[in-house]
Structure 1
Amino acid sequence: MTTNKKKTGSASALDFQIINWIGIIEQLSSTQAKRLLDGTDVPMPQFILLNHFSHRPDEGKTVSNVAWAMQQPQPGITKTLAKMVSNGFLKEEPNPEDGRSKILFLTEQGKQSHAIAQSRLIRGMSGVFDDWEETDKKQLFTYLDRLKIYFDDNR
C-alpha cells in the first residue's frame, strides 16, 4: 500500500474515475439484482430496506431514522415501509418517546424473505469473482469498507 498522502480536500482525475467506476458498477449490479429479484415477494427497494434492518435485526427504527440512513426523502421511504408492514416484513409499535410516530421492527417473515432474496442474489451473481484470489477479494473489501466509512462519516 502506498504511503503518498495528498492534502485534505485535493482531488485528482483518478479520484473521480474511481468514484465514477463505482457508480457504473452500482448501476450495472443493481440492474442485474432487480432482474434476479423479479417475480419474488421482495422487490429491490424493499430488499435494500430489509438489508438495512437485517444488520441489527432487534433494533427498532423510525421512518425518519431510515430516511436519514438511506439518504432518501421521507415520503418515498414511508410508502415503501408501509408496503413492508402490509407484507408482514416489518411490524409497527408505538414510539414511547413520540406518540405521533411508530417504531418499526424486522419480523421473522422479513428475516426469511430477506434470506431467500439474498440467496437468490448470491446464486445469480456467482460468477462475478470466479477468477479472483481470496486475498484480492479481501483487499478489495478492505478498501471499499474504508470508502464506505468515509462517505458515512461525511454525509
Structure 2
Amino acid sequence: MTEPPLAFRIVNWIGIIDQLTTTEGNRLLKPLGLPLPQLVMLNHFSHRPDEAKTVTSIARALQQPQPGVTKNVQSLVAKGWLRERTNGADGRSKLLVLTPAGIAKHRAAVAALTPWVARAFADWPEKDQRTLFALLDRLKLWFDSDRDQR
C-alpha cells in the first residue's frame, strides 16, 4: 500500500493529536467542572472578552451545530461564566458576554493544562516551538479563509 499524500498525512496527524489532547484535557479539567467543549467556548470568548456574541456567531466561528452550542451556552450561563443580555438589534436572540467568573475559570483551566502541555515541549528549543506555532498559524489562517469563502 502506498502512503497517502503528505498534506493528508499532516492533517491526519493533527486529528490524532486532537484526539489524544481531548482525552487528557477532559481528564485534567474534570476537577474544575469544565468539560473541554465548554473550555473551547470560554477560550473563544477570552480572545475578545468585552465583545458580545450570539449563539449563531459562535456556532459559525466554531463550526459546530447550533443546538450543541446552545447547550454549552446554557451551561456556561447557569454556572455564571457567561452572561446573557437582550439583543436590541434582534429580539429573538441574546447577546452573550464573558463574566469575570468566566475569565477566572478560563485562567484556572489554562493553569491546569499548562504543566501537562509544557511536558510535551520540554525538550524542544523555543525556536522550534515558535517555528511550529508559526506554521500551524499559517495553516489555521488558510482553513479560516477557506471556510469564509464557502
Give the TM interval when normalised to the shorter protein: over 0.9
SS, match of residue 17 in structure 2? helix
Show the counterpart of 1:39: 31
TM-score (norm 2): 0.93
Give the alignment of 1:40-119 within 5 angstroms: 40-119=32-111
Question: Does residue 127 of structure 2 align to residue 135 of structure 1?
Answer: yes
Shift of 1:29: 1.1
How many pairs were matched up? Answer: 144
Question: Does residue 7 of structure 2 align to residue 29 of structure 1?
Answer: no
Aligned Cα root-mean-square deviation (Å): 1.0
Gap runs ≥5 in structure 1? 1-11
SS, match of residue 118 in structure 2? coil
**Structure with the higher fraction of residues in helix conformation:** 2
Q: Is the 8 A contact 1:85 1:92 kept in 2?
A: yes
Gap runs ≥5 in structure 2? none
One-letter amino acid of the structure 1 residue matched with residue 144 of structure 2? D
Show the counterpart of 1:7: none
Identify the range of structure 1 (119-128 vs 58-67) with the bigger mean alpha-carbon deviation: 119-128
TM-score (norm 1): 0.90
Deviations 1:55-105 (A, max 9, x none): 000000000000101111101110110010010000011101101111000
What percentage of aligned pairs have identical amino acids? 51
